């Protein structure tokens, strides 16, 4: 279970420090998929970064645990080894590092951190081939440097490829749907659904109902001004799509 309690965080330093997360509480029980929706600038990506330990954010209060382990106390790589995965809203280009090298290095680093044996080269290649097929990824793409020259949609698909390769215990998907064409959206959603399991949790950040038609959430949260202001079932996403945030936000205050 991912458990966030009263989490507050700022960006910037000293006088410029700006509170972005403001007493945010949220719990995603293992086996469930929750969606987060909310206006631009509400703090959704900030939440994903604070959870995964990106530099530049200061936690000023609250806690975040994954299956009881204090995430905020760990280095980013240790959080990843504990099973936390972020599908980035803006995947980063890594010139000179081929996708396969990158993912294999990551996988073995995580395994090492967990005290497991490295994956053999043939096993890795086999797994990679299978997943590339599910996601309709051109195997040639996996030989290219990470995200360099990839289209917006290709980058998002590559995030899901990495996620399926690494098999994390908890996944945060930050606007994975943006930039995907209609067919790719379905393919990616199938990949994500294939990872749904009683042992895994998922937090899906999106602006659009459409993704949630494919990845059916157990709960939908509305994040605004740095906190969760409303929680409901899948129908809440439909209401937001129809009424916009104004209606729902007005009601919440």
Partner 1 sequence: MSTALKDMIRNPTVAELELVARYAALKADARRERLFEAFAQTGLPGRRIEGWRWTDFKAALTSLDAPKVATARDPLARDGVATLRFTPSGYAAPKALPAGLKLLAKDDVQAMGGAEDAPLGALAAALSGGRTPATLLVDVSAGVPVHLHMVFEGPGAINAARVVFLLRPGAELHLSESHLGGAALSASLIEFTLNKDARLNRTVYQIGGAGEAQAITALIEQDAGAESVQTVLAFGAKVARIETRLVHRESGSKATLNAAYLAGAGLQADITTHVRHGAPSCITGQVTKGAVLDGGRGVFQGKFHVPRTAGQQTDASMQHKALLLEEGAEVFAKPELEILADDVQCAHGNTSGALDAAQLFYLRQRGIPLVQARALLTEAFIAEALEGAGALEEALRAEASAWLNHAA
Q: How far apart are CA 250 and CA 70, in angstroms?
A: 35
C-beta of 41 vs 149, nearer to ligand ATP: 41
Other CB atoms within 10 A of residue 118 CB: 13
Q: Does 41 bind ligand ATP (CB under 6 A)?
A: yes
Q: Measuring CA to CA, which residue among 87, 62, 85 is closest to residue 228?
A: 62
Q: Measuring CA to CA, which residue among 127, 133, 91 is closest to residue 108?
A: 127
Q: Which two tokens stand for residue 196?
A: 């749904």
Q: Measuring CA to CA, which residue among 158, 171, 160 is closest to residue 33?
A: 171
Q: Does 44 bind ligand ATP (CB under 6 A)?
A: yes
Residues 163-202 within binding reach of partner 1 (CB under 8 A): 166
C-beta of 11 vs 78, nearer to ligand ATP: 11
For 30-74, the DSSP string reads: TT-EEEEE--TTSSHHHHHHHHHT-TTEEEEEEEEEETTEEGGGS
- Cβ atoms of 206 and 39 within 8 Å: the answer is no
Q: Does 11 bind ligand ATP (CB under 6 A)?
A: yes
Q: Does 45 bind Mg ion (CB under 5 A)?
A: yes
Q: Does 52 bind partner 1 (CB under 8 A)?
A: yes
C-beta of 103 vs 173, nearer to partner 1: 103
Q: Does 113 bind partner 1 (CB under 8 A)?
A: yes
Shortest Å, Cβ 28 to Mg ion:
18
Site string for ligand ATP, 197-226 (x = CB under 6 A): ------------------------------
**What single DSSP character describes residue 207?**
S
C-beta of 50 vs 82, nearer to ligand ATP: 50
Q: Which helix (H) or strand (E) element contains residue 23?
A: strand 18-28
Q: Does 187 bind Mg ion (CB under 5 A)?
A: no
Q: Please give the residue ranges that form the binding site for ligand ATP (CB under 6 A).
A: 11-12, 18, 20, 38, 40-46, 56, 89
Binding residues (CB under 8 A) for partner 1: these are 52-56, 75-77, 79-81, 85-86, 88, 91-97, 102-103, 105-107, 109-110, 113, 145, 162, 166
């Amino acid at each position: 279970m991912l458990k966030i309690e009263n989490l507050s965080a700022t960006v910037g330093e000293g006088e410029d420090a700006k509170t972005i997360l403001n007493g945010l509480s949220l719990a995603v029980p293992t086996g469930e998929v929750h969606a987060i929706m909310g206006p631009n600038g509400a703090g959704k990506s900030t939440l994903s970064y604070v959870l995964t330990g990106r530099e530049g954010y200061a936690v000023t209060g609250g806690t975040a645990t994954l299956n009881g382990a204090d995430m905020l106390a760990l280095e980013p790589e240790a959080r990843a080894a504990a099973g936390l995965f972020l599908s980035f809203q803006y995947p980063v280009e890594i010139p000179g590092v081929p996708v396969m090298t990158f993912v294999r290095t990551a996988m073995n680093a995580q395994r090492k951190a967990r005290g497991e044996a490295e994956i053999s080269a043939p096993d890795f290649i086999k797994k990679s081939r299978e997943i590339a097929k599910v996601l309709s990824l051109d195997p040639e793409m996996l030989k290219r440097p990470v995200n360099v020259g990839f289209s917006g949609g290709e980058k998002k698909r590559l995030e899901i490829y990495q996620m399926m390769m690494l098999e994390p215990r908890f996944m945060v998907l930050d606007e994975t749907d943006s930039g995907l064409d209609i067919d790719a959206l379905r393919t990616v959603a199938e990949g994500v659904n294939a990872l749904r399991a009683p042992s895994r949790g998922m937090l899906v950040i999106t602006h659009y109902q459409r993704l949630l038609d494919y990845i059916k959430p157990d709960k939908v949260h509305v994040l605004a001004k740095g906190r969760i202001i409303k929680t409901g079932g899948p129908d809440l996403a439909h209401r937001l799509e129809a009424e916009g945030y104004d209606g729902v936000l007005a009601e919440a205050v």
